[in-house]
Amino acid sequence: MDIYSSSIFKSLQREYKRDFGIDIASFMKPKSVVVDFKSFENKFLNKKQRKVLRDIEKNNQNKVILSGGIASGKTFLACYLFLKTLLKNRHRYSHDTNNFILGNSQKALEINVTGQFKKLANMLKIPFVPKYSNTSYFEINSLRVNLYGGDKIRDFERFRGSNSAVIYVNEATTLHKETLKEALKRLRIKPEFIVFDTNP
């Protein structure tokens, strides 16, 4: 059981935040969990998703575009690719590495993408802690992932100057071109992996 998802933890978290202005989750540093990706892929990915994943890994692709219709599984696969790359390379990140997810708006990401990551975390049995404040982000297996909206030309200023290793761009066709260009410039830390998902 993930203690951070339990109702008692969330209740105490709200109480401490209200009374003392402290988020108790920020003091919890869960021990990283070793994940068996191969068995997860065989059990939970469909045949087409496994083929796409094998092609990406075989050709050592670090810039990936997933395109497909509604409910085709591209968002789930994009989230999985992001998460797998993030966890496998965690030893390369410093405390200021800005791994992030870019979408039409923070709210849209909180509704559409965060749920996929929570689902993946439950399936992989790793801790997932969403945090919503002025800046939305979540921690997955104690790694911070920021959420940014990008539909306006000036949205890229929120992540300008940061260094990133892993980026996920959700619904890329809805984002402003300058924001997409700036996101690509942020990839400065190995493995320099970015995944886009889009409708055809």
- 2 pLDDT band, cuts 50/70/90, is low
Based on the domain organization, do 3 and 21 belong to the same domain? yes
Based on the domain organization, do 90 and 7 belong to the same domain? no
- 32 pLDDT band, cuts 50/70/90, is low
Ranked by mean pLDDT, the top range of 41-50, 83-92, 153-162, 184-193 is 41-50
Rounded distance between C-alpha atoms, residue 30 and residue 27, angstroms: 9
Rounded distance between C-alpha atoms, residue 20 and residue 73, angstroms: 42
pTM over 0.85: no
Based on the domain organization, do 138 and 190 belong to the same domain? yes
pLDDT tops 70 at residue 5: no
Q: In a 3-state reduction of DSSP, which class is residue 63?
A: strand
pLDDT tops 90 at residue 42: yes
- 1 pLDDT band, cuts 50/70/90, is very low
Mean pLDDT of 32-36: 78
For residues 12 and 170, which has the higher predicted lDDT (pLDDT)? 170
Q: What CATH number has the domain bearing residue 136? A: 3.40.50.300
Contact indicator for 171, 104 with CB cutoff of 8 Å = yes
Based on the domain organization, do 174 and 134 belong to the same domain? yes
Based on the domain organization, do 13 and 36 belong to the same domain? no
Based on the domain organization, do 60 and 14 belong to the same domain? no
For residues 192 and 110, which has the higher predicted lDDT (pLDDT)? 192
Based on the domain organization, do 6 and 98 belong to the same domain? no
Look at residue 87 in the predicted model and tell me its pLDDT: 93
Mean pLDDT of 54-69: 94
Ranked by mean pLDDT, the top range of 136-145, 164-173, 176-185 is 164-173
Distances from the Cα of 194 to the Cα of 76, 82, 126, 135, 172, angstroms: 15, 8, 22, 21, 12
Report pLDDT digits (tens) over 105-141: 888 888 889 999 999 999 999 988 887 666 688 888 8
Question: Can you give the residue range of the structural domain that contains 18?
Answer: 1-30
For residues 131 and 33, which has the higher predicted lDDT (pLDDT)? 131
